[in-house]
Amino acid sequence: MSTPSALPREVAVPVSVFAALRDELDEEVGTLETVRAMQHAGYTAGLEAALSLNRESGGDAFILTAPVFWAHLSGYFEKRGWGSLVHFDVHAGIGVLSSPDWAEALPGTRRSNAGCGVSAGFLSGLLSQLAGGAVAVLEARCRSRGDGKCDFAFGSETAIHELYGHMLEGADLEQALQAL
């Protein structure tokens, strides 16, 4: 049994676990419920992962300068096999984490929806825990959908909800950001 001060255990699994979970859940409960379940599971894992990220950054990741923090975050994910992340400030209150090699994405599958639900939830949980408040994450581009990279937009729940609304109306990420 672990104590509250103990760091969460980490295990390595083949990246195919994401596709297997998504496919099985899709078959059993449907796409919307699958997306929700994978995002919720990722969020919970992200909350705990913040402890590891903090430990690896020397105790408090958010006291690092922004460039150092974002480089540290990318290194954290790369070291664990997720892929690389590059941070962009794209709009007041909205940032983007972009990856050309994100592990959860399945290039060539041409899914109709973004395929990195665990990752979006994980990033939301991790950033929320570190920030001490809610940080919403939207996967705006996905290699599983045929995009060249995975882009995770993040910000307040209000800002991300508004961004998503514009994208539901057919805007791409850049158009949606301009409409804000």
The string of pLDDT tens digits covering residues 18-46 is 888 888 998 999 888 998 999 999 999 99
Instruction: Band the pLDDT of 49: cuts 50, 70, 90.
Output: very high
| Section 134-159 average pLDDT | 95
CA distance linking residue 103 with residue 16, whole number of Å: 9
Find out if CATH 3.30.1380.20 is the number for domain 16-179: yes
**Contact assessment for residue 130 and residue 148, using Cβ atoms and an 8 Å cutoff:** no
Q: Angle at the Cα of 39 (from 177 to 129), degrees rounded to 5?
A: 80
The pLDDT-based confidence of 172 (bands split at 50, 70, 90) is very high
Q: Tell me 145's DSSP state.
A: G
What's the pLDDT score for residue 5? 56
Which has the closest alpha carbon to 88: 159, 146, 154? 154
Would the pLDDT of 1 be above 70? no
Nearest CA among 101, 102, 100, 92 for reference residue 155: 92
* pLDDT at residue 165 tops 80: yes
Mean pLDDT calculated for residue range 96-101? 97
Per-residue model confidence (pLDDT) at position 141: 95
Q: What is the arithmetic mean of pLDDT over 146-155?
A: 95
Give the global pTM.
0.91
Q: Are 50 and 129 in contact (CB under 8 A)?
A: yes
CA separation for the pair 21, 19 (Å, rounded): 5
Residue 2 in this model has a pLDDT that exceeds 50: no
Q: pLDDT at position 114, please?
A: 75
Mean residue pLDDT of the chain comes to 91
